[in-house]
Amino acid sequence: MRSSARVVIIGGGVHGASTLYHLVKEGWTDVMLIEKAELTSGSTWHAAGQITRSVADYTTAAFHHYAIELYEGLEAETGQGISLHQPGGLRLAFNDLELDQLKTHLGVGRVLGYPIELISGFEAQEINPFFDMTGVVGAIWTAGEGHVDPSGVTMAFANFARSAGAEVVRRNRVVEVNALPAGSESGNWQVVTEQGTVTSEHVVDAAGCYGHHGHPGGRARVHGRQRSGDTDARHGLAPPEHPVRRSGHLHRHHLGTELPRDHGPACTRFAAAAH
Ligand SMILES: Cc1cc2nc3c(=O)[nH]c(=O)nc-3n(C[C@H](O)[C@H](O)[C@H](O)COP(=O)(O)OP(=O)(O)OC[C@H]3O[C@@H](n4cnc5c(N)ncnc54)[C@H](O)[C@@H]3O)c2cc1C
């Protein structure tokens, strides 16, 4: 294991591996990823791998659109099978409210320029004769949606990065991350792992949903200097509490009505209870 790197990424799920791949594509090859177990052994291993781009939020849709285009070329680029299947996607509206919601998907899709159509229930029935379309007042048809193997995608990212000079270290838990004193020549961060210490300019925390646990066996403890916006920006670290941008449609519409996204009274009750 190298003792210094420009970037250290903690966590070998799809996000860590994707970050590694994209850094390498930008020409940053002095980068490493450290995973405490095996690649994909976190949430990524469990994911169904469904890929969609039809959402009401522009930013999310842009991410999804980019990902699908990336997956379409990833197997050829890396030689790693990712089991991409693109049978398309249908979203059904059972009332005018849901139809309005789907029209926002249509608008976002048209702005971003991917294939998306508002069709009738009859047309949806022709596309998928196995659905019972009773009560459907309209649908969004999105060609190119489908599913992919999340483990294959992670391996493809990691293999590509490795072949370009990046290092992937498995079975090595990060136990601590310390900020080095300003002006230190050895680097800005000290990443302490079970197999030794690495210094780096940047640390990316991609340790997943259990990463926030501060006890040994959970997330590495990140010991910083002052956490001002300036130092966060310089070191590529996000402040711990960022406002999250949400599309808001679930919150706007769910009380007393059916959820626009997930049809049915069970979903309405769940949303009302969660509110
Ligand atoms: C049942 C299920 C179905 C899903 N279906 C879909 C779907 O259809 N479509 C979709 O887009 N998403 C789906 N998801 C969500 C998707 O799986 C996650 O959003 C994604 O896998 C998260 O990736 P990650 O890299 O952030 O986290 P993870 O995959 O959890 O990776 C984090 C990694 O960090 C490692 N780690 C943690 N702490 C340390 C440490 N101290 N040192 C070193 N390594 C450490 C862990 O071992 C782990 O490998 C699903 C999730 C589940 C559970």
d(CA 154, CA 39): 7
Note the pLDDT of residue 16: 97
Find out if CATH 3.30.9 is the number for domain 50-148+245-274: yes
Question: 140 φ, ψ to 5°?
Answer: -105, 130
- Ranges of beta strands (E only) in the chain are 4-10, 31-34, 50-51, 89-93, 117-119, 138-142, 146-147, 167-169, 174-179, 189-193, 196-205, 221-223
For ligand 1, atom 13, name the residue with the nearest CA. 47
d(CA 169, CA 34): 5
Residue with the larger pLDDT of the pair 217 and 52: 52
Given a cut of 50, is residue 274 above it in pLDDT? Answer: no
How many angstroms is it from 42 CA to the middle of ligand 1? Answer: 5
Decide: residue 9, CB within 10 A, 0-12 exposed, 13-18 middle, 19+ buried. Answer: buried
Residue with the larger pLDDT of the pair 108 and 180: 108
Residues with CB under 6 A from ligand 1: 10-16, 34-37, 41-44, 46-50, 173-174, 206-209, 211, 219-220
Given a cut of 60, is residue 92 above it in pLDDT? Answer: yes
Q: Is the dihedral of CA 256, 257, 261, 267 positive or negative?
A: positive
d(CA 135, CA 257): 17
| Edge-to-edge strand ranges of the sheet holding 167-169 | 167-169, 31-34, 4-10, 196-205, 189-193, 174-179, 221-223
d(CA 174, CA 34): 7
Given a cut of 80, is residue 228 above it in pLDDT? Answer: no
For ligand 1, atom 50, name the residue with the nearest CA. 47
Given a cut of 50, is residue 94 above it in pLDDT? Answer: yes
How many angstroms is it from 16 CA to the middle of ligand 1? Answer: 9
Q: How confident is the model at residue 11 (pLDDT cuts 50, 70, 90)?
A: very high
Ligand 1 pocket test target in 44, 205, 213 with most atoms within 8 Å of CB: 44
Average pLDDT over residues 115-136: 91
Mean pLDDT of the chain: 81
Average pLDDT over residues 36-52: 94
Residues 6 or more apart whose Cβ sits within 8 Å of residue 143: 86, 88, 115
Ligand 1, atom nearest to 220 Cα: 41
How many angstroms is it from 45 CA to the middle of ligand 1? Answer: 7
Question: 47 φ, ψ to 5°?
Answer: -65, 140
Given a cut of 50, is residue 187 above it in pLDDT? Answer: yes
Find out if CATH 3.50.50.60 is the number for domain 4-48+150-235: yes
**Which of 121-135, 139-153, 198-212 holds the top average pLDDT?**
139-153
Domain ranges of the chain: 4-48+150-235, 50-148+245-274
Note the pLDDT of residue 212: 53
Given a cut of 70, is residue 57 above it in pLDDT? Answer: yes
Ligand 1, atom nearest to 11 Cα: 34
How many angstroms is it from 27 CA to the middle of ligand 1? Answer: 26
